[in-house]
Structure 1
Amino acid sequence: MATRSLVLKTGDARDVGTVDALMAAAFDPRFGEAWTSSQCLGVLAMPGVRLLIAWDEEVPTGFALWRTIMDEAELLLLAVAPGHRRRGVGGALLRAMIADVAASGVATIHLEVRAGNDAVALYRTAGFAKIGERRGYYRSRDGGQHDAHTYSLAL
């Protein structure tokens, strides 16, 4: 079932509380994928960084954070609240990000994702191809290590 009234809005540093809440809901702390508020604020202050937040009515349902450098872009974070998954939110955010960077002349988009993350299917559907692997990249609170897979999309 699709989200009834999904609206995508550009965000900025004032939206870090919303981003924090979405990360807390969306990212399992076992895997160490969520960023801190300070990390988000630091990245948002950099040139070429964009934040897009998905809203269903007045409820934030997901976000995408990316940066563009010259003719390349990197998807830094994409999160969808658990109650809104499989309703098109992630796909809408990803499509909007791809359209935004394509319009600015980007030739390649990169991302990395934890091996086994359900989002891999979303990225593959959008045309991303696996190009590499970083063993033990993510470290969980219990000391576990999880591989990161790198993906790329040529525009």
Structure 2
Amino acid sequence: MTEAVHLATARVGDLAAVMRVMDAAFDPLFGEAWSGAQLLTLFALPSARVCLAWHGEEPCGFSAARIAGPESELLLLAVDPAWRGRGIGRLLLDDWQAWASAHGADDYFLEMRADNDAAHLYSRAGFVEVGRRAAYYRGNDGQMRDAITMRQRPSPKSGD
């Protein structure tokens, strides 16, 4: 199904499309969704990128990431629940790393709620847990949840 999906760098004019996916994908219970104002700050940063996945004219997923030297951090990755299980998350993940690599990054990080269902996607892509913050996230239900930091280490270079 992913062959019918195309990816494109989002622009400020795409904010409504990104927010449509954000609203569908992030459960309000956890309070993880960003506001439109928060996302707008990324569009102004030359070291950040928001990528939208489209099926025709319908937005079905997005990623947001930034680069700092040789490291890149995935800030958000979301797939509309109606489009999950079709490889869109992996397309967005691969696209993020290709973009970051083209800009000099070779070390990839992300942080997420420890009980996030996306953990299997990241594990299959070679990410491993490298840190944990106990009771870091407070959900809208008042419950505290751990945050985990995951990293995909760069491949060793010849002669290292």
Q: What is residue 86 of structure 1 aligned with on the other side?
A: 85
Report matched runs for 1:75-114 at 5 Å.
Answer: 75-114=74-113
Deviation at residue 70 of structure 1 after TM alignment: 1.1
Range moving further from structure 2, 8-17 or 74-83: 8-17
CA distance in 2, matches of 1:132, 1:42: 27
Runs of 4+ in 1 over 4 A off after TM superposition: none
Which of the pair has the greater relative contact order for Cα pairs under 8 Å at 6+ separation?
1
Q: What is residue 65 of structure 1 aligned with on the other side?
A: 64
Amino acid at match of 1:63: F
Matched-pair contact (CA < 8 Å) for 1:67–1:74: yes
Aligned-partner SS, 1:28: coil
Aligned-partner SS, 2:100: helix
Q: What is residue 116 of structure 2 aligned with on the other side?
A: 117
Q: What is residue 158 of structure 2 aligned with on the other side?
A: none
Aligned-partner SS, 1:100: helix
Q: What is residue 6 of structure 2 aligned with on the other side?
A: 7
Percent of pairs with identical residues? 44
Matched-pair contact (CA < 8 Å) for 1:3–1:84: no
Deviation at residue 27 of structure 1 after TM alignment: 0.6
Amino acid at match of 1:89: I
CA distance in 2, matches of 1:147, 1:43: 25
The one-character-per-residue Cα deviations of 1:87-141 (angstroms, maximum 9, x if unpaired) are: 0100001011111111222121110011111111111111111000112222222
CA distance in 1, matches of 2:55, 2:45: 28
> Which runs of no fewer than 5 residues in structure 1 stay unpaired?
none
> Which runs of no fewer than 5 residues in structure 2 stay unpaired?
155-160
Q: What is residue 157 of structure 2 aligned with on the other side?
A: none
Deviation at residue 55 of structure 1 after TM alignment: 0.6
The one-character-per-residue Cα deviations of 1:40-78 (angstroms, maximum 9, x if unpaired) are: 112321220011100112111000000011111000000
CA distance in 1, matches of 2:21, 2:122: 20
CA distance in 2, matches of 1:139, 1:14: 31
Bigger CA radius of gyration: 2
TM-score, scaled to structure 2? 0.91
